[in-house]
Structure 1
């Protein structure tokens, strides 16, 4: 598809993605669920290419939630191995496109080989500043907010922070990645209409784009369509629409 990015007046600085439909994509083709996740990894690559082309600075993908630990052990193990495989095979693309990798979530819960491989890539790409890929791994937004509240409470108890200093900024500063701007656009694939415990604080004023497309079929064309939809939104932040 030929898409004229110059026609877009507004490009979101940060796009968050709930990558849904991998399992259903595979099941409809008579394939094991892990095959859907493998094809979904190709969609991540496509979105990163499209985002760089469009000038999107931050992409956050919801790769593995705290609830996903409840899935069958074989599927969880397959997802962890797929993450290592993807980094082994595609890390060079991060370097080629000067994309920094960061992670948010309960990093300590991940298997040791996964933590080591992810940390290696994060260290190797830490100096890039043009584009950032954030992977939400073992992530749950309620847990993130709970941990932030606990840290603040501990500071108040220790006398290093006063209750009157607790505000939106201080809460943000105790979340996983306080230096990453809030997403302006959140995309969810497969037609589901829920947040699934994803970035509940950060998505407060984000525009939502829901598509029936399964994640493995979501590529550059679909990403540009989402940007086009965002371009047509009137973002008022609680204000009144200008006539």
Structure 2
């Protein structure tokens, strides 16, 4: 049974929908990729802010399964940015004791990017500081569908009794099976929707929809949001006496 979290406890796991890079660039008369590069630099600041905020797990939404619908040039630019980010930040993340993992379906990603992702996960697997999870080619519905296929295969192969399946079974097949569920989900840029992000995991998460565009999101604002979280009563459907 889930125990209610009483007032005064900050979020252990924060997930962020990093929105607004393109609009930020457009407002400055720059191409959209300029905004994505600025947004990538912002990630480092937020990762570095996690320990002081008491955040052990940070999950960021970098590229959704729906983002393939963008122009070919923007998608190609984003894939190049991901490769560059991993190559450039790998040693820094290692020095800062950050454990990195990636979630999402890797089948549509190019081989070079997947190799870089695999290498970074292996390189930082022993790190014990902040756990940084990066969602690339990720969609909540796609994740649940993939998890369900694996679960169904285990049933078909006799490794799982279908009568034993309950709401605690499916999470073991999700991309996030080794992570705790997010306590707080933040979406930047003023949009008030969850955009197919961590659908199962965020069933009881608190949400913050803020107007700040992602490249302008600071460590100070992050700290403010995590501090405000500690004043919320999370009942999970129960009544706290």
Instruction: Give the deviation of 1:117 after TM superposition.
Output: 1.5
TM-score using structure 2 length: 0.94
Alignment of 1:66-105 (within 5 A): 66-105=65-104
Q: Is residue 2:127 matched to residue 1:110? A: no
Residue 206 of structure 2 corresponds to 207
Ranges of 4+ aligned residues in structure 1 off by more than 3 Å: none
Deviates more, 1:190-199 or 1:114-123: 114-123
CA distance in structure 2 between the aligned counterparts of 1:196 and 1:93, rounded to whole angstroms: 30
Alignment of 1:151-166 (within 5 A): 151-166=150-165
Residue 176 of structure 2 corresponds to 177
CA distance in structure 2 between the aligned counterparts of 1:153 and 1:62, rounded to whole angstroms: 28
Instruction: Give the deviation of 1:116 after TM superposition.
Output: 1.4
CA distance in structure 1 between the aligned counterparts of 2:151 and 2:209, rounded to whole angstroms: 35
CA distance in structure 2 between the aligned counterparts of 1:154 and 1:232, rounded to whole angstroms: 44
Gaps of 5+ in 1: 1-7
CA distance in structure 2 between the aligned counterparts of 1:235 and 1:164, rounded to whole angstroms: 31
Q: Secondary structure at the match of 1:47?
A: helix
Residue 236 of structure 1 corresponds to 235
CA distance in structure 2 between the aligned counterparts of 1:41 and 1:53, rounded to whole angstroms: 21
Alignment of 1:212-223 (within 5 A): 212-223=211-222
Residue 46 of structure 2 corresponds to 47
Give the conservation status (yes or no) of the 8 Å contact 2:105–2:136.
yes
Gaps of 5+ in 2: 1-6
Instruction: Give the deviation of 1:159 after TM superposition.
Output: 2.3
Instruction: Give the deviation of 1:12 after TM superposition.
Output: 1.1
TM-score using structure 1 length: 0.93
Residue 194 of structure 1 corresponds to 193
Residue 31 of structure 1 corresponds to 30
Deviates more, 1:227-236 or 1:83-92: 83-92
CA RMSD of aligned residues (A): 1.3
Residue 135 of structure 1 corresponds to 134
Deviates more, 1:31-40 or 1:163-172: 163-172
Instruction: Give the deviation of 1:129 after TM superposition.
Output: 2.3
Residue 4 of structure 1 corresponds to none
What's the CA shift string for 1:1-31, capped at 9, x where partnerless? xxxxxxx932211100000000000001100
